[in-house]
């Protein structure tokens, strides 16, 4: 299998090169040049398989330049009992016979980013070996919360890699901050940056693009790379859990083999739901992909109108991991739906860069509307969805999953479609416990309590244990105290690599 850029000016090249590069040098995203197909027999076979075996079956055809033991090894390092607190890795919780929740948060950081970031470091190191790369890889991450911690957990102590995470000093939750500053591992660095997320991100981008920095880092034996969601090595592992959920529904007798199901996906950067699109292209019986947004509903408008317009106010919501106005992975969908027309994609992306807006052609819009459906939940609807889900099913969800459940209700009312449906749950309720506790326990009982006290209250209320990644957080040793100005970031990078040459 070869990969090519959505902008048409780079590739084709093997998976190992695409994963090592992350983003294509023409600014496009790497996509597979051919369609991978799973036969009905393949899908039937998955019914009796473990998550790890299902992952092997899906990843194999995408990573044809990897030896089968290299793929196996990466899977075993990623999805095991040390890092996932559930033997099924991504278990399905049944709310009723027609509605299930796919829990993607049993990994070390309690959010779905772990599904990809636990395996990416192993795919990346294997890619380095396969391409004869002699340098070590230095991962730089600017984070507003979830990605930084998930990347730290994924890369910690992985040989020939080092990772530095920068977060805005006042821009993350108390739990997220404690998760990062207590990070263990011999190859990790965590830095607070004075400023907001944009300052942090532009600081990291400037370092990536600085030739003198690249040279200085190379002298210490390192090369920069990125772990963000545009790397194909993060997308491919996400396809697995769509197949896995379907196989589990068949195994439990909730779906007739071959019957189509809906997936509802709380969406920000369009990475998660795009993996569902690829699963459908590969032959998985999927009827509709429901794109659930919060008040930053640029995708809802796009799916309704074919016009992508980011010229609007950015809203801070209680589902912060979906507070995104530029959904980068959408570019891959456009490339696929236009029949790999890179010149169209280039034009739309140029419009986006210049005007913050583009309009797709009628055929692309109609294809999108046939497959996707979208609506959104504001914060008030999200809070009542948490409450209502608990009242109806005795099940506790986080704010992002609550957005998904609310939009699913809108979908059913609007279309009357009552096919079996899976809502993807992207975070543990404990990860965003301040809002969840407030929704379930009420304003009065939660007012004035810090996030750590609320963890315990939520545990007492729900009868669920606080996940190990979050318990005892307040007592853990703080290992990373550095606060830097944006201008000090390059110096911090140089100091970090010199210590590790
Ligand atoms: C990242 C994230 C999302 C959004 O996923 P995308 O792939 O960016 O669409 C949703 N929920 C949570 C909890 C996340 O961390």
Q: What is the DSSP string of 407-474?
A: HHHHHHHHH---S-EEEEE-B-TTTTHHHHHHHHH-HHHHTT--HHHHHHHHHHHH-PPPPTTTTTGG
Three-state DSSP class for 88?
coil
pTM of full prediction above 0.75 = yes
Confidence of residue 196 (pLDDT cuts 50, 70, 90): confident
d(CA 230, CA 278): 15
Q: Which residue has the higher pLDDT, 416 or 20?
A: 416
Average pLDDT over residues 378-402: 98
In the chain, domain spans: 92-111+233-430
pLDDT at position 17 is: 94
**For all residues of the chain together, what is the average pLDDT?**
95
Confidence of residue 324 (pLDDT cuts 50, 70, 90): confident
| Contact call for residues 55 and 75 (beta carbons, < 8 A) | yes
Residue 145 alpha carbon to ligand 1 centre in Å: 11
Checking if the pLDDT of 417 tops 90, the result is yes
Checking if the pLDDT of 27 tops 90, the result is no
Q: Beta-carbon neighbour count of residue 423 at 10 Å?
A: 27
191, β-bridge pairs: 166
Checking if the pLDDT of 385 tops 80, the result is yes
d(CA 13, CA 30): 9
Q: What is the pLDDT of residues 357-377, one digit of tens each?
A: 999 999 999 999 999 999 999
| Contact call for residues 433 and 454 (beta carbons, < 8 A) | yes
d(CA 90, CA 75): 14
d(CA 17, CA 25): 12
Is ligand 1 within 6 A of the CB of residue 400?
yes
Ramachandran area for residue 489 (φ above 0: left; ψ -120 to 50: alpha; else beta) = alpha
Checking if the pLDDT of 266 tops 80, the result is yes
d(CA 167, CA 190): 8
Nearest atom (ligand 1) to Cα of 432: 13
Worst-scoring range by mean pLDDT, 8-22, 276-290, 389-403?
Answer: 8-22
Checking if the pLDDT of 12 tops 90, the result is yes
Checking if the pLDDT of 267 tops 80, the result is yes
pLDDT at position 173 is: 81
Q: Known catalytic residue: 113? A: yes
pLDDT at position 46 is: 98
Is ligand 1 within 6 A of the CB of residue 200?
no
Average pLDDT over residues 108-115: 95
Checking if the pLDDT of 198 tops 80, the result is no
d(CA 254, CA 250): 6
Is ligand 1 within 6 A of the CB of residue 426?
yes
Residue 321 alpha carbon to ligand 1 centre in Å: 5
pLDDT at position 474 is: 84
| Contact call for residues 15 and 316 (beta carbons, < 8 A) | no
Pairing mode, strands 99-103 and 421-425: parallel
Rounded to the nearest angstrom, the gap between the alpha carbon of residue 116 and the centroid of all alpha carbons in its chain is: 7
Confidence of residue 143 (pLDDT cuts 50, 70, 90): confident
Q: Which of 323, 400, 401 to mutate for ligand 1's pocket (most ligand atoms within 8 Å of CB)?
A: 400
pLDDT at position 323 is: 87
| Of 163, 164, 162, 190, residue with least CA distance to 176 | 190
Checking if the pLDDT of 150 tops 90, the result is yes
Checking if the pLDDT of 226 tops 90, the result is no
Q: Beta-carbon neighbour count of residue 206 at 10 Å?
A: 13
What DSSP character marks residue 478?
Answer: P
Q: Which of 268, 372, 403 to mutate for ligand 1's pocket (most ligand atoms within 8 Å of CB)?
A: 268
Which residues touch 453 (CB under 8 Å, ≥6 apart)?
Answer: none
Decide: residue 298, CB within 10 A, 0-12 exposed, 13-18 middle, 19+ buried: buried
For the domain made up of 92-111+233-430, give the CATH fold.
Answer: Rossmann fold (3.40.50)
pLDDT at position 328 is: 86
Average pLDDT over residues 112-140: 94
pLDDT at position 63 is: 98
Average pLDDT over residues 73-94: 97
Instruction: Give me the sign of the Cα torsion angle 204, 154, 426, 423.
Output: positive
Max mean pLDDT among 71-75, 141-145, 191-195, 496-500 falls in: 71-75
Calculate what percentage of the chain has a pLDDT beyond 70: 100
Three-class DSSP labels, 220-266: CCEEEECCCCCCHHHHHHHHHHHHHHHHHHHHCCCCCCCCCEEEEEE
Checking if the pLDDT of 314 tops 90, the result is no
Which residues touch 477 (CB under 8 Å, ≥6 apart)?
Answer: 182
| Contact call for residues 484 and 194 (beta carbons, < 8 A) | yes
| Contact call for residues 275 and 239 (beta carbons, < 8 A) | yes
Per annotation, catalytic residue among 113, 149, 177, 431:
113
């Amino acid at each position: 299998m070869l990969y090519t850029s959505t902008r048409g000016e780079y590739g084709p090249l093997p998976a190992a090169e695409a994963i090592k590069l992350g983003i294509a040098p023409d600014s496009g995203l790497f996509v597979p040049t051919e369609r991978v197909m799973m036969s009905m027999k393949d899908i039937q076979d998955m019914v009796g398989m473990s998550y790890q075996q299902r992952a092997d079956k899906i990843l194999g055809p995408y990573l044809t330049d990897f030896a089968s033991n290299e793929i196996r090894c990466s899977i075993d390092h990623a999805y095991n009992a040390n890092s996932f607190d559930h033997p099924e890795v991504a278990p399905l919780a049944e709310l009723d016979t027609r509605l299930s929740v796919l829990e993607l948060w049993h990994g070390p950081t309690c959010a779905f980013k772990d599904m990809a970031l636990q395996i990416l470091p192993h795919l990346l190191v294997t890619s380095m070996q396969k391409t004869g790369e002699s340098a070590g890889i230095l991962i730089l991450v600017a984070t507003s919360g979830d990605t930084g911690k998930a990347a730290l957990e994924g890369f910690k102590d992985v040989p020939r890699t080092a990772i530095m995470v920068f977060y805005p000093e006042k821009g993350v939750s108390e739990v997220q901050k404690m998760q990062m500053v207590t990070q263990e591992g011999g190859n990790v660095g965590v830095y607070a940056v004075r400023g907001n997320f944009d300052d942090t991100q532009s600081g990291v981008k400037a370092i990536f693009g600085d030739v003198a920095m690249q040279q200085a880092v190379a002298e210490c034996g390192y090369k920069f790379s990125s772990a963000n969601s545009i790397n194909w090595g993060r997308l491919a592992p996400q396809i697995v859990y769509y197949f896995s959920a379907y196989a589990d529904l068949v195994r439990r007798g909730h779906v007739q083999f071959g019957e189509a199901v809906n997936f509802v996906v709380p969406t920000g950067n369009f990475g998660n739901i795009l993996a569902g699109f690829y699963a459908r292209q590969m032959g998985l019986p999927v009827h509709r992909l429901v794109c659930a947004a919060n008040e930053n509903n640029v995708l809802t408008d796009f799916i309704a109108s074919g016009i992508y317009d980011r010229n609007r106010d950015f809203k801070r919501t209680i589902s912060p991991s979906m507070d995104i106005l530029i959904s980068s992975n959408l570019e891959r969908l456009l490339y696929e739906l236009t029949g790999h027309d890179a010149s169209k994609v280039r034009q739309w992306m140029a419009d986006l860069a210049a005007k913050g807006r583009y309009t797709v052609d009628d055929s692309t819009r109609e294809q999108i509307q046939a497959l996707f459906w979208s609506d959104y939940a504001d914060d008030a609807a999200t809070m009542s969805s948490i409450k209502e889900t608990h009242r109806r099913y005795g099940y506790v969800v986080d704010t992002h999953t609550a957005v998904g459940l609310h939009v699913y209700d809108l979908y059913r009312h609007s279309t009357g479609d009552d096919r079996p449906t899976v809502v993807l749950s992207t975070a543990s309720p404990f990860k965003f416990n301040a809002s969840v506790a407030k929704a379930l326990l009420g304003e009065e009982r939660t007012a004035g309590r810090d996030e750590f006290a609320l963890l315990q209250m939520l545990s007492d209320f729900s009868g669920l244990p606080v996940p190990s990644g979050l318990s005892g957080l307040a007592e853990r040793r703080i290992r990373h105290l550095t606060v830097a100005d944006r201008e000090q970031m390059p110096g911090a990078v140089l100091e970090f690599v010199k210590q590790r040459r």
